[in-house]
Amino acid sequence: MDQRTEETELLELLPRPVFCVKNGIITRLNQPARKLYLREGLPVEALLEAGNENYAAYCGGLLYVTLAIHGQSFGASVVRVGDENLFTLDQQFESDELRILALAARELRAPLTDAMLTVQQLSLENAAQSKLKRSLYQLLRMIGNMSDASGSSLSFRPERQNVDAVFREIAEKVTALTDTTGIQISYSGLQTDCSCVFDRQLMERAVLNMVSNALKFTPAGGTVHLLLRASGKQFCFSVTDTGSGISKEDQATLFSRYLREPCLEDSRHGIGLGMLLIRNAAALHRGAVLVDHPEKTGTRVTLTFTSVPDDTAKLRTVLLGADYAGEQDHALIELSELLPYNRY
């Protein structure tokens, strides 16, 4: 049996829809992909709904794009294997599970908000109150991730705003809150004012998750660099750290993992939905997410997004959903795993 035949047989063992692309054409696919009426010889460019420019420039790492297959949207992770690009599609049952998580989150949000108000009214020692408040913020973060992980457009609220001003404000807030970590944070933004129609809350949460992940795996004395740049009609925001990096094994399931690796459970809270939120933020803004390693150590995560059409923005504004944070500061919630309790 030659290597190609063996690889094709391995594809058939995979439960997810999977196909290989070479020179822009689908060359091989498994049975779950055939059930979606995909076929050999089909140009992958015809399927790309979001992330076209990113795929055209793709040369390695892990890329997340959105495909349109017979009127239905599918998220897809792309990795380079030999001389082919391997596409792995999200499965429908994952979307169903995430919707269940979102429904559960909505039920939990009200009692948790009541608990936050109660803690603020209690006469506790400052240290005890701060510790309890931080724990509640961590729960609020989990509920927010659960609520948004399904990518529901009902909570999508794009508005026209200054791109660099929003991202610079987030960077300054993160820098001020994490000044005791021993990690140097820097930001490079746009040289000119550019406006864009995007969902500020969703984008802020995605950025804070990207920064939080970088800080978790960067030792004291390391650096985390935030970069915002314009590329054609797209904006690209990247977070580059000098941490331990992500293994190829972990990259394979980075965008579909709900639970963290067991080795991380002891020291960090959460259920690993942050990357799902990041990929959904990119998809809703017709962008993509790329995870790569520009240096020998460390990781770079790049989120690209484009301006949402004004007509879409007006429509979505009617469908307002409740802000998961209420009156609380988003940064204090998203960085709650990292900040000392006296910040609260």
| pLDDT band (50, 70, 90) for residue 269 | very low
Q: What is the pLDDT of residues 48-59, one digit of tens each?
A: 998 888 999 998
Task: Determine the pLDDT at residue 259.
Answer: 42
Across 312-325, average pLDDT? 47
Q: Can you tell me the distance from the alpha carbon of 123 to that of 131, in angstroms, rounded to the nearest whole number? A: 14
Q: Does 115 score more than 60 pLDDT?
A: yes
- Is residue 94 over pLDDT 60? no
Q: How much is the pLDDT for 50?
A: 85
C-alpha span between 87 and 63 (Å, rounded) = 9
Give the model's pLDDT for residue 107: 64
Tens digits of residue pLDDT in 61-83: 999 999 999 888 888 999 999 89
pLDDT of residue 109: 66
For 285, counting Cβ atoms within 10 Å of its Cβ (0-12 exposed, 13-18 middle, 19+ buried), the class is buried
pLDDT, average across residues 25-48:
95
> In sequence order, what are the residues at sequence separation of 6 or more whose Cβ sits closer than 8 angstroms to the Cβ of residue 133?
116, 119, 120, 341, 344
Calculate mean pLDDT across residues 289-305: 90
φ, ψ of residue 201 in degrees (nearest 5): -65, -45
pLDDT digits (tens, 9 = 90+) for 131-153: 777 777 777 777 776 666 555 54
Give the span between the Cα atoms of 170 and 187, in whole angstroms.
10
Mean pLDDT of the chain: 80
Contact of 225 with 214, CB cutoff 8 Å: no
Give me the domains of the chain, ranges plus CATH numbers: 3-90 (3.30.450.20), 94-148 (no CATH), 153-330 (3.30.565.10)
Collapsing DSSP to helix, strand or coil, 289 comes out as strand
Q: How many helices (H) and strands (E) does the chain have?
A: 12, 13
Q: How confident is the model at residue 189 (pLDDT cuts 50, 70, 90)?
A: very high
